[in-house]
Structure 1
Amino acid sequence: MIEGIILAIGAGLMLGLYALPEKFTKDFKFENTWGLFFMLTMFLVPIIASLTLIKDFSGVFTAVPTNILFKMAAASVLWGIGVMMWGKAINHIGLSLGFSLFIGTVILVGSVLPFLVEGLPETNTFLTILAGIAVVLIGVIFNGKAGLTREKDEASKEKTSEKGSMVTGIFIAVIGGLLATGFSYANAVGRPFIHEACQAAGNAEWVTAVGVMFPIFISGGIVMAAYFAWQLSAKKAWGDFKTPSFGKNFALILIMAIFHYAASALFAFAAFKLGEIGNTVGYAIFNTACVATAIVSGIVTKEWVNASNKAKNYLYLSLASMIIGIIIIAIGNGIS
């Protein structure tokens, strides 16, 4: 159990830090950076990793029932749509509220969703895990309050651009969060079959995580690639790839892509190591650790240096709640 918890936290740390290299790219618009990122992380990295690391790659996926692969693909497409909707929600309600609503929905629904696939655990385990998730969600609410307070502080000092409809933004963020839990469902429904096929082909246990990520990333990547191709055309940003900084930018974005993919694969392995309810426990710890890491990195990089004490207090309460929530969830897994 301890190994699984450490792996889940490590995966969350990687996911919380993967975007840092983006701060050092030059001459790229938002669409260039993230369009290239999704092409690399959703296609290039998982294809190379899968073909390199999985023994008898074709045999493994031939052995998985077609209906299971279809369910994984459908859920992963929904995940891709959900991530894109989150980006749209930010345009309406801002990063802080949009992120909090999105990740709150992901943690709540995505952590409970595997129970629909695998069945409910014993009552005391189930209630303990739900209590931990509730404490985590309180932390997410505090995180949202911190961000909103900070945005209000900054708005009082300088003129900010108008946001879109608040109701529309909230709706998009919540629906996006619901769809993004397709990642959790795809992992829960596909991992047992892919694990059996990987073991039959003589692969090590951890290779299952690589196998699970392949259909998830390829399927979800189709949506993301189409979206950013449209955005690059709409913003007339294709020409911005022609820059002397392209080589440096490509290297930085490739690092982001590797970290993002590795974090997701590490989560899948952590869920396996956590046992019968590992998908729920691992998903909750993974996403919570990601948010906590983002909070700490924001503090370290002095993003909050000019925020008011009120905003900072909300931020610290958020971090404390998330840590306590992870501990409670871990206790629930131990009870099982």
Structure 2
Amino acid sequence: MIDGIILAIGAGLMLGLYALPEKFTKDFKFENTWSLFFMLTMFLVPIIASIILINNFGSVFFSVPTNVLIKMAVASLLWGIGVMMWGKAINHIGLSLGFSIFIGTVILVGSILPFAVEGLPQKNVLLTILAGIFVVLLGVLFNGQAGITRELDELKSGQNIKGKGEMIMGITIAVIGGLLATGFSYANAVGRPYIHEACQASGNPEWVTAVAVMFPIFISGGIVMTLYFAWQLSSKKAWVCFKTPNFRKNFILILIMAIFHYAASALFAFAAFKLGEIGNTVGYAIFNTSCVATAIVSGIVTKEWINASSRAKKYLYISLTCMIIGISIIAIGNGIS
């Protein structure tokens, strides 16, 4: 159990830090950076990793029932749509509130969703895990409050606050996006047992299952993201920004982001396996919570909160504390099982 928890936390750390190289790109618009990132992380990296690491790559996936692969593909497409909707929500309600609502929905629904596939655990285990998720969600809410307070502090006079209609629209988009993004959790839960069996039959080590599971998830989800950013690059007239002397440097930085992002997801899949019967629920909760906590700490280290008020920082520290306590309770629940 301990190694599974450590792996899930490690995956969350990687996901929380993967975007840091983006701060050092030059001459790229938002659309250039993230379109190239998604092309690399959703297609290039998983295809190369899968072909190199999976013995009998073709036979593994031919062994998986077609209906399982279809379920994984549809759920992964929904995941891709959900991530895109999160980006739109941020335009309406800002990063702090948009992130908190989105990730809160992902943790709540995505952690419980595997129960629909695998069945409910014992009552004491279920109640303990739900209690941990509740404490984590409190942390997410305090994180959102910290961000909103900081934004209001920076506005000072309170000007440019979003209107009621736009707030409702943004919150709605964030919640729906979060619900759709839980397709990642469902795809992993429904596909991993079959893909693991196929990998083992082809003589692969246990950890290779995590790589194999990510292949259909990333390829399917990447279709949506590719179409979205192709449209964004055209509408923002950003294609020309790829013609920069800094392209090589930017490409390397974004490739590092892509590798970290993919590796974090694959590591989560392996952590879920190591955590046992309710590993998908426990692993997903720890994975996403660790990601948020890492993002909070990295924001503090990089001085994003240096000008925030003491009130905003207090909410931030309470948020981090709740998340740590919540992860501990979830881990206890897994231990009881």
Q: TM-score, normalised by structure 1?
A: 0.99
Amino acid at match of 2:134: A
1:278 aligns with 2:279: yes
Q: TM-score, normalised by structure 2?
A: 0.98
1:124 aligns with 2:124: yes
CA distance in 1, matches of 2:192, 2:178: 22
Which position in structure 1 is the counterpart of 2:186? Answer: 185
**Structure 1 residues 158 and 253: alpha-carbon distance in aligned structure 2, compared to 1, 3 A threshold:** farther
Which position in structure 1 is the counterpart of 2:326? Answer: 325
1:62 aligns with 2:62: yes
Which position in structure 1 is the counterpart of 2:236? Answer: 235
Cα RMSD between the aligned structures? Answer: 1.1
Which position in structure 1 is the counterpart of 2:261? Answer: 260
Following superposition, the deviation at residue 185 of structure 1 comes to 0.0
Which position in structure 2 is the counterpart of 1:213? Answer: 214
CA distance in 2, matches of 1:159, 1:25: 31
Q: Secondary structure at the match of 2:48?
A: helix
CA distance in 2, matches of 1:183, 1:81: 11
Match runs of 1:13-32 below 5 Å: 13-32=13-32
Any idea what the Cα deviations from partners look like across 1:127-182, whole Å, max 9, x if unmatched? 00000000000000000000000000011179658677000000000000000000
Q: Secondary structure at the match of 2:36?
A: helix
Any idea what the Cα deviations from partners look like across 1:228-278, whole Å, max 9, x if unmatched? 000000000000000000000000000000000000000000000000000
Which position in structure 1 is the counterpart of 2:291? Answer: 290
Match runs of 1:3-18 below 5 Å: 3-18=3-18
CA distance in 1, matches of 2:16, 2:245: 29
Match runs of 1:294-305 below 5 Å: 294-305=295-306
Q: Secondary structure at the match of 1:165?
A: helix
Q: Secondary structure at the match of 2:308?
A: coil
Asked if 1 retains the 8 angstrom alpha-carbon contact of 2:268 and 2:284, the reply is: yes
CA distance in 1, matches of 2:151, 2:161: 12
1:103 aligns with 2:103: yes
**Structure 1 residues 295 and 29: alpha-carbon distance in aligned structure 2, compared to 1, 3 A threshold:** same
Any idea what the Cα deviations from partners look like across 1:37-77, whole Å, max 9, x if unmatched? 00000000000000000000000000000000000000000
Asked if 1 retains the 8 angstrom alpha-carbon contact of 2:29 and 2:238, the reply is: yes
Match runs of 1:139-178 below 5 Å: 139-156=139-156, 165-178=166-179
Which position in structure 2 is the counterpart of 1:226? Answer: 227
Asked if 1 retains the 8 angstrom alpha-carbon contact of 2:82 and 2:178, the reply is: yes
Amino acid at match of 1:172: I
Any idea what the Cα deviations from partners look like across 1:198-231, whole Å, max 9, x if unmatched? 0000000000000000000000000000000000
Which position in structure 2 is the counterpart of 1:316? Answer: 317
Amino acid at match of 1:230: W
Which position in structure 1 is the counterpart of 2:35? Answer: 35
CA distance in 2, matches of 1:44, 1:158: 45
CA distance in 2, matches of 1:72, 1:156: 47
Which position in structure 1 is the counterpart of 2:47? Answer: 47
CA distance in 2, matches of 1:155, 1:28: 28
Moved over 2 A (4+): 157-164
Following superposition, the deviation at residue 326 of structure 1 comes to 0.2
Q: Which 10-residue stretch deviates more, 48-57 or 149-158?
A: 149-158
How many matched pairs? 336
CA distance in 2, matches of 1:205, 1:18: 25
CA distance in 2, matches of 1:216, 1:276: 21
